Structure formats: structure tokens, C-alpha cells
Chain A
């Protein structure tokens, strides 16, 4: 897509024609959106002093679960696992992919537009085993994050955004054929 100032006169004309034809949302939708306006919002400064709120996210989509249940499958599920979690304040979109013998977890926190951090801790059943140090990453204004170099295992993932701490159910990081073996 060209920047506007690089367009020829004809291209600019076509762009304006298409922009002029861009439809408005139906009036009923517009009215409904306008009525969403609440009572005056609490100032940000006041919210900063709010106590930490612990929230739990629920799994709403798992690409491996879908693949396993689908009848007539001819092949194994994709190596890339797509998970979607829903919490009261946001959704969390996760993609787990094998990369060079290890795993990468990438994703996006949706519905929140402020930066935050996430912490991934490997779950260890055997108390004699030394748990891995927590991996911590930031997510940006668009909620995107990425963690690389993970070994297979079961992990707990928590996110911290403002005064909210969001805990996800334990996540198994493995290849499809190793699933359940951990």
C-alpha cells in the first residue's frame, strides 16, 4: 500500500472514490455504542492505589483438542498449538511452536491496551528437582509478547497488568505425539 503522498493523481482519485463509498455503521449500532458511555470514570491516579486483583482465565479454544476430536483425520495435528483463554478483563491468545528442538511461546493479550509483564514458570512434580527460574517477558501496547528457548514440560503462566494478576491453567508444552507423556 502506497502512502498517500506517493499516489499518482489517478490513484488518489480512486482512493477518494473508495473512501467516499465506505459505509457508515448502521444508525442503530451507532446509537447503541453511544449509550455505552458510563458515569464519569475514576481518575487513573486513584486506580493506581487499588489493591491487586487476582483473576483466573478459562481455556476457550485449543487447536489440538479440535484436531483430536475431528473424525476422519488423516494426519497428526499441526506442531503449532493455538490456545485462547478468556478472563473477565481480557482474552489471551497463545501460539506454541517448536523451534530448533525447543519451543517458542508467542501471543497477544487482547482487550487491554497498557503494557504489562508475563511470567512463565515450569511446573515440577518432584520436590527434589530444582525448578526452573521464572521466565519473565514484557508485552507491549498492543499486548504482544514472545518467549523463546523453552524446554518441554508443564508450565504455569501469569500476567500482570496494572492492578490485575491473571492466572492461566497449566499449559503443556510438547510436540503433538509427546502430548500427555510429560
Chain B
């Protein structure tokens, strides 16, 4: 990330080792979406996803002093989160209930989801890392661009320009050109 004001992972790890709690918070905030997305991608329920999240960061804080190549921190986090997610998935599959749903006498087999042999293939993990990278870059845009892009592309896919213009206090006609400029700015920040 070509942004001088944003410390890289190595700097944050170093500051953590010096006892800087703010650096730990920055690391957690930097990777929280990625870790949670990995857990969700493994088709875990919210409780299991919470376990993956907590365990991954617990392991991270435990192993910070051992980190010899902080530049590979993201790979370590992804590997650890994936591992925890797969372990929980495996345990869930081993303890799945064989009981049929009440009143369902017609079904010939217990109702359970067939296990996916590769719930977290490398391609999916790479894609999640790319999404998280873009999202972090989006968070670091100036407020005008960040708010506009999040309003346009956030939870509501069918948001109306009129509503966005009202919420952001900008003319409706400026939304299209501003959106284009902000998308270009975001893209260039990732080069």
C-alpha cells in the first residue's frame, strides 16, 4: 500500500513488541474483516465464526514475539484462520445430528449437508485477500470519496442517487463524475 501515513505490518508488529496497545488495535482492525470473511466462507455458523475469529487473534497475540518475517503476517493470519475454520468444520461434521426433522417421515436419509472437501480453496482465499485489500484502501480514502462509495456500494445494492445526494448533501448531478474520480483514486492507491 503506497501510503506513507499508514504503517505497514512490520512497523505495527515492532510497535506491538514495544508494548504499544494502539499498534495491536491497528492490526486487529486491519485484519478483522479478512478473518471473519474466511470463517464465513467456510460455511460456519456465527458462533463457530466467532470462535475462529477469537482463536486467530489469540494465537496472533501469543506468537507476536516469534514473528521473524512480519512482511508475511497476512499469510500467517490467513493460514491460521483457515486452519481454525477447517478444524471447527470437521468437528461439526463429526457431531452432526442424525435425527430427522419432526414430522418428516418420508425422507430416506438424515438431513445433513454433504461436506465440501475444499471449503477454502486457495483461489477463494486469494479472492478474499484481494477484497479485504480493496476495502482497506477504501477506508483510507478521503472522507468525501469513502462516504460516497460506501453509500453507493454498501449494503443496499439498489440505492437511488437522489437518496445519496440527500444524505451526503451534494448535487445529484455530481454523483456520477465524483464516483468515477473516486474509483480512479482508489485504484491508483493500490498501485
Q: Which residues of B contact A114 (CB under 8 A)?
A: 66-68
Q: Which residues of B contact A41 (CB under 8 A)?
A: 16-17, 19, 64-65
The verdict on A33 contacting chain B, using a C-beta distance below 8 Å, is yes
Q: What is the 8 Å Cβ interface bit string for chain B, positions 97-130, against chain A (1 contact, 0 not)?
A: 0000000000000000000000000010011001
Q: What is the 8 Å Cβ interface bit string for chain A, positions 112-151, against chain B (1 contact, 0 not)?
A: 1111000000000000000000000000011100000000
Q: Which residue of A lies closest to B28 (CB)?
A: A33
Partner of A25, one of B17, B19, B32, B63: B32
- Bound CA–CA A111/B67 (angstroms): 11
B17 touches A38 (CB 8 A): no
Partner of B72, one of A12, A29, A142: A142
A57 to chain B, nearest CB (A): 15
- Bound CA–CA A113/B76 (angstroms): 6
B131 touches A23 (CB 8 A): no
Q: From known contacts A25-B36, A61-B90, infer whether A20 and B54 are also in contact, taking CB-CB under 8 Å.
A: no
Q: Which residue of B lies closest to A144 (CB)?
A: B79
Q: Which residue of A lies closest to B69 (CB)?
A: A141
The verdict on A73 contacting chain B, using a C-beta distance below 8 Å, is no
Chain B contact patch, size range:
35 or more
Partner of B35, one of A25, A36, A111, A112: A25
Q: Which residue of A lies closest to B187 (CB)?
A: A12
Q: What is the 8 Å Cβ interface bit string for chain B, positions 17-36, against chain A (1 contact, 0 not)?
A: 11101001100110011011
Q: Which residues of A contact B79 (CB under 8 A)?
A: 108, 110, 142-143
The verdict on B183 contacting chain A, using a C-beta distance below 8 Å, is yes
The verdict on A34 contacting chain B, using a C-beta distance below 8 Å, is yes
- Bound CA–CA A47/B131 (angstroms): 37
- Bound CA–CA A115/B65 (angstroms): 13
Chain A contact patch, size range:
35 or more
Q: From known contacts A5-B191, A93-B83, A113-B76, infer whether A13 and B183 are also in contact, taking CB-CB under 8 Å.
A: yes
Interface-centre pick from B18, B76, B138 (highest chain A CB count, 10 A): B76
The verdict on A75 contacting chain B, using a C-beta distance below 8 Å, is no
Q: From known contacts A5-B191, A38-B61, A112-B66, infer whether A22 and B28 are also in contact, taking CB-CB under 8 Å.
A: no
Q: Which residues of A contact B187 (CB under 8 A)?
A: 4, 12
A21 touches B153 (CB 8 A): yes
Which residues of chain A in 12-41 are interfacial with respect to chain B, using CB atoms and an 8 Å cutoff?
Answer: 12-13, 15-26, 29-30, 32-34, 36-41
Query: Which B residues are closer than 8 A to A by beta carbons?
Result: 16-19, 21, 24-25, 28-29, 32-33, 35-37, 40, 46, 50, 53-54, 57-59, 61-69, 72-73, 75-76, 79-80, 83, 87, 90, 94, 123, 126-127, 130-132, 134-135, 138, 149-150, 152-155, 157, 183, 186-187, 190-191
27 inter-chain pairs at a CB distance below 8 angstroms, sorted by A residue, are A1-B123, A4-B190, A5-B191, A12-B187, A19-B132, A19-B134, A19-B138, A20-B138, A20-B152, A21-B154, A24-B33, A25-B33, A29-B53, A33-B32, A33-B57, A34-B25, A40-B18, A41-B64, A43-B65, A44-B66, A108-B83, A110-B83, A112-B66, A113-B63, A113-B66, A141-B72, A162-B66
Query: Which A residues are closer than 8 A to B by beta carbons?
Result: 1, 4-5, 12-13, 15-26, 29-30, 32-34, 36-44, 47, 61, 66, 84, 89, 91, 93, 108, 110-115, 141-143, 161-162
